[in-house]
Structure 1
């Protein structure tokens, strides 16, 4: 007897080449088999969809295609609108799951109260050189957060991002009201909104593999510096506009290092 699906994976993809097929394969190799997968193509012009086509025919997979390129957040929201499972998780088209990722996350989700809107673990970042060899493999540990300000000051994202669907839909999905309409840093933008209304839960297990390569959006240092500062200031304004952020700038990057209460700075 087939079990009811509890989780949907959304893969947003744009000109991902052979990476997309590899990402999908890590879904098919999950120890938890009753998943649903939504692949949302943001108007790709390369061969990536053709390479992944054999997997798109599986009844667990839904393929959607934007008429024009709209960026990461709007693409994720297209997929979210079609999600009917209690949980949803993002998998970027150039990244991987461990075989046990969904099974571990679902088991943990069953233990959590309704106010937990997101579950995450640790991340392996890898880089593969042109000959196919592993250039580096760095494990980054996540942590728990006391409140939204603790998360803000951590300068961290979450990996993977395993959302309670109802909570994610309640905040309107991925925000698109920034200067780039959600094209960049969609993770931190939605997390800043989510932590306003829910708690994050972390488990100390590696659950996600991030591939570093020269096409990563985060290589756009100037844009990411701008959107990082914009996102922080936008969040603080929503949270009562009590604090002025103190930033550290280094080698083109920016991070928040402190909060100064506005009443003390006047």
Structure 2
């Protein structure tokens, strides 16, 4: 399958109605400095020809397309892809984003060199604003390592890229269709919260991912209250599953997002160590 050995990482690219942006995302996979990858495109019931765009790349032996009949949402599409991942690692790529050329090589090297209980590797992300079809450089989102699962719970921003140990994701049940987000919202936060109880999160302090900002991926203010309620329910659920050692104290971000401000020990609850990172 791969001229320099079997692939070690699968790029799982779920797409819904992104026919225009999809070629750049796929091109960034083909441009990787390591050949040790597979690409699994999951068409999540697109109606704009995204599936046809993806299928143009099936000439390559390491590209596969999984077509879902109806739109299921990102988390459910990733869960549908999970049984088809046949490499020790996989990384998700949003269909309107793209990788830096060394992303897969550096993320794989970090996981290989890390401790045996490492389950996720992230890095930094350059954001670009889409202005009338022209990409203008915006801010850089810098991730960080975490001391334990409670430290991660306090972390507000998202992590990208999300490079996973496949066996670990399967061990925690994958991307579940939870009762709050229904597998459509905050699927990334939920799987990461589940994985924090299992192993360490590593961080590569380099820009390895590029995020496209545009009107379609900037959440409308009227939706924020609903999404904040979903996030709050997810976090409270995870705290209960961890033995409820802390009470969550919330704060409202200036842009309207809900973040954890503090974790207050419960007098009657036994504090768990939780030190997995």
Q: Which runs of 5+ in 1 are unaligned?
A: none
Q: Tell me the equivalent position of 1:166.
A: 167
Change (3 A) 1:218 1:131: closer
Change (3 A) 1:251 1:203: closer
1:253 paired to 2:257: yes
Match of 1:225 among 222, 228, 246: 228
Match of 1:116 among 118, 126, 139: 118
Conservation of the 8 A alpha-carbon contact between 1:218 and 1:224: no
Compute the displacement of 1:40 (Å).
0.6
Q: Tell me the equivalent position of 1:10.
A: 12
Alignment of 1:71-86 (within 5 A): 71-86=73-88
CA distance in 1, matches of 2:35, 2:79: 24
Match of 2:246 among 221, 240, 243: 243
Change (3 A) 1:4 1:171: same
Compute the displacement of 1:133 (Å).
4.4
Compute the displacement of 1:20 (Å).
1.3
1:125-178 Cα distance to aligned partner (Å, 9 max, x none): 1112005141x4211111111100011012233211111111111111112213
Q: Which runs of 5+ in 2 are unaligned?
A: 270-277
Q: What is the RMSD computed on CA atoms of the aligned residues? A: 1.8
Change (3 A) 1:233 1:13: same
CA distance in 1, matches of 2:37, 2:219: 29
Change (3 A) 1:251 1:24: closer
Residue aligned with 2:53, SS:
helix
CA distance in 1, matches of 2:218, 2:42: 18
Higher mean C-alpha displacement, 142-151 vs 15-24: 15-24
Residue aligned with 1:178, SS:
coil
Compute the displacement of 1:252 (Å).
3.0
Q: Tell me the equivalent position of 1:156.
A: 157
Residue aligned with 1:154, SS:
coil
Please report the TM-score for the alignment, with normalisation by the length of structure 1. 0.93
Change (3 A) 1:203 1:251: closer
Higher mean C-alpha displacement, 250-259 vs 183-192: 250-259
CA distance in 2, matches of 1:89, 1:131: 27
Conservation of the 8 A alpha-carbon contact between 1:38 and 1:62: yes
Compute the displacement of 1:52 (Å).
3.5
Q: Tell me the equivalent position of 2:71.
A: 69
Aligned pair count reads 264
Q: Tell me the equivalent position of 1:179.
A: 180
Q: Tell me the equivalent position of 2:267.
A: 263
Conservation of the 8 A alpha-carbon contact between 2:124 and 2:141: yes
